Each structure stands twice: as C-alpha cells, then as structure tokens.
Structure 1
Amino acid sequence: MKQPKLVIFDCDGVLVDSEPPTLALLRDDLELYGLTLTMAQVDEDYMGVAMVDIAKKARANGADLPDDWVAAIYTKMFERLKQGVPLIAGIERTLDALDAAGIPYAVGSNGPMAKMDITLGAHPALFDRLKGRIFSAHDCKAGKPDPELFLKAAAFMGIEPKDCAVIDDSVAGATAGLRAGMRTLGFDPNGDGTHLTAIGAEHLAHMDDLPSMLKL
C-alpha cells in the first residue's frame, strides 16, 4: 500500500493511555445505577463509544440513569484524569517519523475537547504538535461509528478520504474509519486484535510498528 497523505489518530488508548481508569470509573458508576458489568464487558461493549450513546445503551440494559448522568460522569472523569495519564509507548517516535516524511496528522475523538485539554494538555510537547488539528465528535451530528468525525478532519486538512489512514483502538472507531473509506489500523497492544480485524481493520500491535506499516 502507498503512503497516506494524512493520518488521523484516536485520542484515548491511542495517544494517551486513558482507557483503563475511565473504563473502571464507568463500570463502578453504572453499578451505582443497577447495571453490574465485568471489566471485560465494559471493554467490549462501551470502549470508544460516545458517552451519550453509552447512556442510551446502559439504560436499554437496565441502568436507571438520571437525566443529567452524562454531565455528571464527565465531571467525575475529568477529576480522575487530572491525576495524570501516561502517553502510549512509541507515539512520540511515530509522530517524529510522520514529520520526517512530511505527512500531516490529526486527532479524531468521541470525547469532548475539555477532556482532551486535560489528557493531552498534561503532555505539553505533544499537545503543541496537535493544536489546530484536534476534532471532537461533540462538534458533529453523531459520534463513531458514524464516519462524520473522520470525514470532517480530512476535509479540514484538505485530504481525500481514500488518502487517509485512521488509527483507532475500538470497534466503534475502526468501523467509523472503514465507513469513511479510509485505511484503518486497529491498535491493540495487549491482544491479537481479532475484534478489530474481524470488521476489516489491520492489526497494529505496537505504535513503533506504524511507520513501517505506512511505508515511511
């Protein structure tokens, strides 16, 4: 495959390792409202899903969530994330390789800008590289798995979807990338990526592998 002209990264679990604490918080909070889930279930059913859609799904599965639950869970989440989350191993080297190849990159996340201000903002050098190229599904009509977010990022950067590559760690995100007509790499450093390859994504096992997969 040829080099992409734009690489769009998800944020949580791809740039910053924020999934473990946020998913644990989500599991504990849903249990307060009558929905008991294992971490495996939370990971499979809710990872990468927009919070408004999580609320809909949780209610359908029996959670008695209050009307202001989405706002409330974000408040709790922001407080947890302010304690700090590490960068994904290899992400800075990967961005260096993209810069050296002259390939631009952007961020497309289901999370709100305020959340990325916290997680990415805790790493100023990385945040500075991404400013002006960060896109949130909260500014779209729908979040992933809808492709609007990735298509919006590509249009802003002036790149055709067929010339873009998406890096995402969730089924919802990978589905969005594929629906957008973009080459989609499913990031799963802790497994074999079968839940992502099953829908047509390529498995990316370590961020340091990305430059060679993109033919840089």
Structure 2
Amino acid sequence: MRPAAVLFDCDGVIVDSEPLTDRIIAANLTRHGLPMAPDEVKTLFRGGTMASVAETARTRGAGIGENWIDDIYAEIFQGLATGTPLIAGIEAAFDALDAAGVAYAVGSNGPHRKMAVTLGQHPHLHRRLAGRIFSREDVARPKPAPDLYLHAASCIGAEPARCVVIEDSATGARAARSAGMACLGYAPLGDGASLAEAGARPFRDMAELPALLGL
C-alpha cells in the first residue's frame, strides 16, 4: 500500500551538502586542537545537531568557545552558498509523488537558515516545498526523538502510521522508528548496515524510490 505521506530528511537526501560540511567542520576542529578528518566527522556526527557536535568535540579536547556554534554555522553557510547540488534523482522522485497525489514534507535537524541557503539555490524546488519545510527549531527535541517527524506529519494532515521517512542517517532512522513510521535508508555508498540496524530498509539509488513507495 502506498503511503499517505513521505517525509524527507534534507542534507544527504535532497541536497548533497554533507561532504562540504564535513570538510569545513573537520578543518575547524583541527584548528581548535582536535585533529579530525572529514570521514571521522561523517562517522561521529552524521544526523546530529551542531550542539551535539560541540559537546562531543569539547569532551575530546577541542578548545572551542561559547560562540562556536554561531561561528561554525557562519563558515558552513558561506561554503554551502558557493554551490550545493541536489541529490541525483530527487526531483524525479518528487515528480512521481505529485503524479500519484502523495503528500510530502521535509524534516531536518538543521536550522531553517541552512535550508534556505541550500534549497534556496534551487528556486523551483524551494517553491515546491514551500510551507512543508520543518526544522529541529520547530520542536522541543531533535532527532533521534520522534518530535520532528510527528510535527511534520501533523502539519500536512497525515497519520504517522501511514507515513514513510527517507533518511540517510541512523539517527534519523531511529527518529522515524520512534514516531511509528516506516523508513527507507538512502545509502548510495556502502551497504547501509547502520541504517538497517536502526530499522530502515536501505536502498542505493534515488531512482528506486518511486517503486519502493508503491507508486
């Protein structure tokens, strides 16, 4: 049975922002006394919030100040503004959802300003998602709590049990599971094992998504 609604994570699912973001965070933490490679940032922090990044970095010895979150976001926004491509096949997936009359929305642990920077570079898509872009700023608790996906489902009038979440992180997959929603885990590289362990069904190519959703 096709879902009543599909809820998408943003970074790594709609926009290919994570490689650049990981490089910026790695370079920043290295400057602050915590040598780290982009792959380590990806492994440690994928799907989390910048507050959780700061907390972990401090416990590992990074000399970052109270304003670090504002400072790193300024670096990230500047970097992303130079060009953030869409994930291949995502627009065709939205086309298929529109054709089938299936509602969709975005739920991201990132702030609204970040999505304005990344999605805003793609005006047609940004307009398409208007009124359906939700951030951890809109709820009490970020992923892996269920709040964000439950909020998104409520705002578009969909029953949680009939929603499917599209995620690329175990953190997001756990949020979907806690919300009582099925989850498809986008894993273009690797086997998606961490997603599967968190309750998601991994897939490798966004072109597979319409069929996986029964469209």
Which residue identity lines up with residue 3 of structure 2 in the other structure? P
Q: Distance in 2 between matches of 1:143 and 1:17?
A: 21
Which stretches of structure 1, 4 residues or more, deviate above 4 A after TM superposition?
A: none
Q: Distance in 1 between matches of 2:55 and 2:139?
A: 18
Q: Distance in 1 between matches of 2:185 and 2:70?
A: 29
What runs of 5+ residues in structure 1 fail to find an aligned partner? none
CA contact (8 A) 2:145 2:175 kept: yes
Which residue identity lines up with residue 167 of structure 1 in the other structure? I
Q: Distance in 2 between matches of 1:183 and 1:112?
A: 24
Displacement of 1:124 in angstroms is: 0.6
Q: Distance in 2 between matches of 1:77 and 1:97?
A: 32
CA contact (8 A) 2:105 2:132 kept: yes
Q: Distance in 2 between matches of 1:200 and 1:68?
A: 36
Higher mean displacement: 39-48 or 84-93 = 39-48
Q: 2:213 aligns to what?
A: 214
Q: 1:85 aligns to what?
A: 84
Once superposed, what is the RMSD of the aligned Cα atoms?
A: 0.9
Q: 1:180 aligns to what?
A: 179
Which residue identity lines up with residue 44 of structure 2 in the other structure? D
Q: 2:116 aligns to what?
A: 117
Q: Deviations over 1:15-45 (max 9, x none)?
A: 0100000011011111112212233321111
Which residue identity lines up with residue 7 of structure 1 in the other structure? V
TM-score (norm 1): 0.97
Q: 2:192 aligns to what?
A: 193
Q: Deviations over 1:41-82 (max 9, x none)?
A: 211111121111111111122212100000110111110011
Which residue identity lines up with residue 198 of structure 2 in the other structure? I
**2:71 is the alignment partner of 1:68:** no
SS state of the match for residue 33, structure 2? coil
CA contact (8 A) 2:23 2:37 kept: no
Higher mean displacement: 10-19 or 57-66 = 57-66
CA contact (8 A) 2:8 2:105 kept: yes
Which residue identity lines up with residue 190 of structure 1 in the other structure? L
Aligned identity (percent) is 48
Q: Distance in 1 between matches of 2:170 and 2:35?
A: 22
What runs of 5+ residues in structure 2 fail to find an aligned partner? none
Q: 1:151 aligns to what?
A: 150
Q: Deviations over 1:158-195 (max 9, x none)?
A: 11111101011111111111111100111111121111
Higher mean displacement: 51-60 or 31-40 = 31-40
Q: Distance in 1 between matches of 2:35 and 2:179?
A: 34
Which residue identity lines up with residue 68 of structure 1 in the other structure? N
Q: Distance in 2 between matches of 1:39 and 1:195?
A: 18
Q: How many residues are treated as equivalent by the alignment?
A: 215
Which residue identity lines up with residue 169 of structure 1 in the other structure? D
Q: Distance in 2 between matches of 1:14 and 1:105?
A: 13
Which residue identity lines up with residue 192 of structure 1 in the other structure? D
Q: Distance in 1 between matches of 2:83 and 2:12?
A: 14
